[in-house]
Amino acid sequence: MDIRAVRTQGNGCKGLVFRAHVSRYVSGGRICERRELRLLKRESCPGCKECGWIFDSQAEDLSNGCGVSLDNLEDGALYRLTGSGTPDHETGIVDWIEWDLSKVDIGA
Ligand SMILES: [Zn+2]
């Protein structure tokens, strides 16, 4: 891992923007609920200097879990995933990223 980005928010980087989909359905005699966030590529950061291509470099990590809660997803709402970390003062490398999911106000 070799990231020099420290923060994806508040510096012009858009982070990753997702739309929430929450659905309930009956299948095989079970009532199920599906919660997911679908990436909106055009609204999201494609990788930039500000975030140091954090999402690309962390893709594997993120696929193993990003620690954000999906408990309060609102169907149809937009959410932004951002990450922040503090670089080691000697190496300048961030070895731990804290992910945060926040709701995006439409039009903001
Ligand atoms: Zn970015």
User: φ, ψ for residue 23 (rounded to 5)?
Assistant: -140, 150
Q: What is the pTM of this model?
A: 0.74
Distance from C-alpha of 108 to C-alpha of 99, rounded to nearest angstrom: 21
Overall average pLDDT of the 65-91 stretch: 84
Q: How far is the CA of 52 from the centre of ligand 1 (A)?
A: 7
Q: How far is the CA of 58 from the centre of ligand 1 (A)?
A: 13
Q: How far is the CA of 51 from the centre of ligand 1 (A)?
A: 4
> Does the structure show a pLDDT above 60 at 90?
yes
Q: How far is the CA of 82 from the centre of ligand 1 (A)?
A: 9
pLDDT at 31: 97
Overall average pLDDT of the 92-97 stretch: 74
Q: How far is the CA of 47 from the centre of ligand 1 (A)?
A: 5
Overall average pLDDT of the 64-76 stretch: 85
> Does the structure show a pLDDT above 80 at 74?
yes
User: SS3 breakdown of the chain: % helix, strand, coil, rounded to 5?
Assistant: 10, 35, 55
Overall average pLDDT of the 83-108 stretch: 77
**Which amino acid, residue 55?**
F
Residues 16-62: tens digit of each pLDDT: 899 999 999 999 999 999 999 999 999 898 888 877 787 777 777 77
**Token pair recorded at residue 101:** 């999911």
Of residues 71 and 84, more confidence is placed in 71
Q: Which residues contact 29 (CB under 8 A, 6 or more apart)?
A: none
